[in-house]
Amino acid sequence: MKRPCVWKMLMAAMCVALLSGLQAQDLPRQVSIILLGATGDLARKYLWQGLFHLYLEEVGKGHHFRFHGTALTSTEQGQEVIAKVLESLSCPGDMASGHCAELKAQFQQLSEYRQLKTPEDYVALSKDIEAQVEHEGLRETGRIFYLSVPPFAYVDIARNINSSCRPGPGAWLRVVLEKPFGHDLHSAQQLATELGSFFQEEEMYRVDHYLGKQVVAQILPFRDQNRAALDGLWNRHHVERVEIVMKETLDAEGRTSFYEEYGVIRDVLQNHLTEVLTLVAMELPVNVSSPESVLQHKLQAFQALRSLQRHSAVLGQYQAYSGQVRRELQKPDSFHSLTPTFAGILVHIDNLRWEGVPFILMSGKALDERVSYVRILFKNQAFCVQSEKHWVAAQSHCLPRQIIFYIGHGELGSPAVLVSRNLFQPALPSASWKEVEGRPGLHLFGLPLSDYYAYSPVREQDAYSLLISHIFHCRKDSFVTTENLLASWVFWTPLLDSLAHEVPRFYPGGAENGQLLDFEFSGGHLSFSQPLPEQLVPGPDSAPLPSDFQVLRAKYRESPLISAWPEELIARLAGDIEAAAVRAVRRFGKFHLALSGGSSPVALFQQLATGHYSFPWAHTHLWLVDERCVPLWDPESNFQGLQTHLLQHVRVPHYNVHPMPVHRRQRLCAEEDQGAQAYAEEISALVTNGSFDLVLLGMGTDGHTASLFPQSPAGLDGEQLVVLTTSPSSPHRRMSLSLPLINRARKVAVLVMGRMKREIAMLVSRVGRDPKKWPISGVLPDSGQLVWYMDYDAFLG
């Protein structure tokens, strides 16, 4: 049965709904911007000015704005502060004063202050925005919440925004967050998870203000606009090195509370300089205007970064720092901080474009100048026959060839892009970049300014103004995504952990630093150029510091002990191994070296690979002390670690490398495959009397060594040379040299590192020979030498 009345009513309702929707689409659009922490330093110095610039850019383009300054400060006090800030706002220099005054008055009318403290305050704010939008006949397009507050407040604020202050259907939400985003990988993951429970990824904008610096923001466009010239140059064949630098003359006075928690690496290198690194190193997307493509390529650059090791860094601390900390944080007179205020880091990227190219990141406080830059120095294969006085100025191929993204300050005094004239003439957008005027007598990076094509912004713009504009226009590539943030912490956290107890080099500050902080690199190793004089006894009137002691020689379990800070200890052990190798080759024509796996010897392997070019690798046989029962290509394989950190960097004949046969007949450590017997036979055939020239061991926190574990009888005595054992930790099955075979060695070196080993080191120093309980206690060569190499953390705690 037909119901014409019902159909007419339904059609009428649909028409009304459609008409209402169309009318809503025609309504003027409003964006509400809520600045939390509106009375704080960052807001007063930069954010209100950035919001005003956004208003100047967008006024008359179809959007209405409301600016809500909020804080915990009382309403009356907050209104006073905001009134002063709004009065101090400035317009671009080329804007007429009358027009500026008019727009400034409008902005002041659209800005308000309110206290935002309780959940009820958020509900009231949302209702007031909705009421104002309805009253003025507008349509709400979206809300921007800018959190200029400490990170500990993020989660509570996020909860309140999500529960009661989101805009209605059809409107977007953008939440802006300021660093620091965690202290290490774990804390960053925890914060990201908590924020992710309230906001979608596309709603979050993590600010790294360096990405708003005009020159930094120009790196990708510059690479894109000069593809033709750079395609053949931007790679390992032509780039000698890349320097990314931020130097400051100011010290940390007044900020030591923050600095003690973060230090220079977390404050500057993990974020600002790493972000710049990815912009230089990433593969260039086909479309650099696509935020998604840019962010994906940045993530790929993060993933190609080679892991940092302890020797990838040099650290410094200006001499007055500990005194400032004692005063500001009420520390006792005996307190000495280990927080670095200066750091140089050597980074390598493991991909075809950048393999072997050193990227040097450096930042510090109390240095000789304030300047920030990225310098790409190109290799120069030219040889000029005529003397330098006959070279054509700026054109000679023998002059340095470099591109400098001059971020700011320094002798030039303003941001600029510089390209050596003997390289190519760059293309930059003429509407926003202009040629730098000549400055006779000014030299930059070894060349007069006239030797560069030099360009600076037509109008200098503050970083926060640019970023606030990008937030409004949804330019996500100018911000740090969760994925890229965690990738950065994955890269930096292991280094930070390894440096936690490192004593920085002290420097006086300013021009007096001289060459004290100069550093150099060899392979993957970074070190200060100027050694400090060794000091056996602290000077008068000074409390002894860890740096006052260099290498300590003593006895441990009746055998020689060498103890030092990790870097010196590894260097000493590497030197001793090389000396043993040279002696063995001179005497027997070959050197049999058995190496343990795990994390402790990684730094040793890298030291041997990069700092010992006289090592007789061609005559060296490499054996494994133990192996996990996993395929040799598995990341947990000891052989894989040896391959990664040593074998691929040195020239050992492949037939001199002897991995343990844990993987036979497509099975792992099966008794019937007789892998242990096969390895024992190989040792007996090649190693005279089964006596290795040197065996490197470690010591576990339970007293195990090699893969010989407490309460496990296998391998502790008897005739077997190689045994299968069971580990309490995964992977449980292991293959190991036996204790009797280890004790046949001419020399056994036991490497013990890290504060986690302090307790077992103390315990083992007091026990007798009881290998069933403490396998390490059974190590005592029959006729060879046992030497303990123990860092100060393990030996002294």
Active-site residues: which are they?
A: 272
Helix (H) or strand (E) holding 790: strand 785-791
Q: Sign of dihedral through CA atoms 136, 142, 147, 148? A: negative
Instruction: Give the Cα separation of 769 and 747 in Å (integer).
Output: 19
Q: At what angle do helices 274-281 and 214-225 cross, to 10 degrees?
A: 10
Taking a C-beta distance cutoff of 8 angstroms, is the pair 238, 173 a contact? no
Would you give the DSSP letter of residue 708? B
Would you state the structure tokens that stand for residue 66, as one six-digit string? 């409301």
With a CB cutoff of 8 Å and minimum separation 6, the contacts of 290 are none
Q: How far is the CA of 24 from the CAs of 17, 171, 315, in angstroms?
A: 10, 12, 60
Would you state the structure tokens that stand for residue 601, as one six-digit string? 């010897």
Strands 447-448 vs 402-409: parallel, antiparallel or unpaired? unpaired
Closest alpha carbon to 463 in 185, 208, 722: 208
Instruction: Let me know how long the chain is.
Output: 797
Beta bridge partners of 245: 362, 373
Instruction: Give the Cα separation of 399 and 384 in Å (integer).
Output: 10
Report the 10 Å Cβ neighbour count for 144.
Answer: 22
DSSP string, 449-467: GGGEEEEEESS---HHHHH
Quick check: helix, strand or coil at residue 338? coil
Kindly give the residue spans of alpha helices, DSSP state H, lying in 528-687: 566-588, 602-611, 638-645, 675-686
With a CB cutoff of 8 Å and minimum separation 6, the contacts of 319 are 506, 507, 508, 509
Indicate the residue type of 222.
F
Kindly give the residue spans of alpha helices, DSSP state H, lying in 618-770: 638-645, 675-686, 739-742, 758-766
Strands 452-457 vs 433-435: parallel, antiparallel or unpaired? antiparallel
Beta bridge partners of 595: 624
Would you give the DSSP letter of residue 769? S
With a CB cutoff of 8 Å and minimum separation 6, the contacts of 39 are 69, 71, 73, 77, 78, 81, 82, 113
Q: How far is the CA of 490 from the CAs of 308, 333, 481, 602, in angstroms?
A: 10, 36, 14, 18
Question: What are the φ and ψ backbone dihedral angles of 682, each rounded to 5 degrees?
Answer: -65, -40
Quick check: helix, strand or coil at residue 57? helix
Quick check: helix, strand or coil at residue 686? helix
Strands 551-556 vs 239-247: parallel, antiparallel or unpaired? unpaired
